[in-house]
Amino acid sequence: MASKPETGDPRRSDKQPFLTDVKTLRQRARQHIDAGAVTEGYGGNTQTAVKVLNTALATELVCVLRYKRHYFMARGIHSAPVAAEFLEHANDEQEHADRIAERIVQLGGEPDFAPDGLSSRSHSEYVEGATLIEMIKEDLVAERIAIDSYRDMIHYFGPFDSTTRKMLEEITATEEEHADDLADLLQNLPKDLKS
């Protein structure tokens, strides 16, 4: 019995293969070489992308500063595990800031670390909190803001920048863990501290 000839995927034509031919890829790679990682295939506006990411950077930096203050200001008999959590979160937020700054540079932009206006560029607020409970609550509010903010950014980058989208998804997962950690801390503190 003779085998039936393969017809291939009906959505593809021989005139336009699925992958760009190697010669075209090589030519495009040589054009605008000074743009680094940003190729013709980048479907977004890099200036807008950098602006959005600088907002995320400011948010992370404000969170680092708030968590660091809370780490050093945590007092009382129940403060040791809470302070340890604050320090861990501060370190995670610094790592997020570093990743975002690196991506900004990859996109041809400049990360904005300027302290002037940092809080106005940030989505989260820098609230000191007078008590351990207030500190935990303010950090939880900030994490919830970051989660929603990053979801919006993921939606924005999704159609044209899978690298940034994936980075933001990973950061969001960590922010969700932080929110769970803080909610657990609030739940597990003695009732007399909560009143």
pLDDT, tens digit, 9 for 90 and up, residues 66-101:
999 999 999 988 899 999 999 999 999 999 999 999
Q: What is the pLDDT of residue 12?
A: 45
Residue 157: both structure tokens together: 């980058």
Quick: pLDDT tens for 128-159: 999 999 999 999 999 999 999 999 999 999 99
C-alpha dist (Å) from residue 103 to 14, 156, 162:
37, 16, 12
Q: Is the pTM of this model over 0.85?
A: no
CATH 3.30.450.40 fits 43-190, yes or no: no
Tell which residue, 117, 187, 182, 176, has the closest CA to residue 151. 176
Q: Which residue has the higher pLDDT, 4 or 25?
A: 25
Residue 22: both structure tokens together: 């190697």
